[in-house]
């Protein structure tokens, strides 16, 4: 394990799940430092054990059967842990709402009705 990874795990353990804010970031390559309030990505906010679990899950390409083998536990145990971790993470919207310009363009082309355009612009698709 790299030195950085160990430091990150130590920081995660030190905070014991309490929220914290990073106030200074320094880029190792050029020494440039940025100060402010930076929120950690959601995955970095997980405890060390859950970070390891998620990493294993990604490396297994989502194979629960492989996760059972690696962790030596049953299917329901893996599913339960995945469900618990999923509740800790916000959903990332992969299909954002169309822009006003997109809605108006579709209306002009006759692809949607005026009522549909109003609904989309009001966020009630």
d(CA 85, CA 59): 17
3 vs 46: which has the higher pLDDT: 46
Residue pair 53/68 in contact by the 8 Å Cβ criterion: no
d(CA 51, CA 45): 9
Q: How many residues does the chain have?
A: 125
Segment among 15-24, 58-67, 95-104 with least mean pLDDT:
15-24
In this prediction the pTM is 0.58
d(CA 121, CA 124): 8
Smallest CA-to-CA distance from 21 within 1, 39, 46 is with 39
Residue 1's pLDDT band (boundaries 50, 70, 90)?
Answer: very low
> What mean pLDDT, rounded, does the chain reach?
85
49-72 per-position pLDDT tens digit: 999 999 999 999 999 999 999 999
């Amino acid at each position: 394990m790299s030195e950085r990874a160990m430091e990150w795990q130590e920081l995660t353990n030190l905070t014991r799940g309490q929220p914290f804010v990073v106030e200074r970031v320094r880029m190792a390559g050029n020494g440039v430092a940025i100060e402010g309030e930076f929120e950690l990505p959601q995955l970095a906010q997980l405890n060390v054990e859950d970070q390891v679990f998620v990493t294993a899950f990604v490396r297994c390409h989502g194979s629960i059967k492989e996760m059972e083998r690696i962790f030596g536990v049953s299917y329901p145990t893996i599913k339960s842990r995945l469900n618990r971790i999923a509740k800790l993470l916000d959903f990332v919207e992969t299909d954002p709402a169309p822009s006003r310009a997109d809605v108006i363009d579709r209306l002009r082309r006759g692809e949607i009705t005026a009522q549909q355009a109003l609904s989309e612009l009001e966020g009630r698709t």
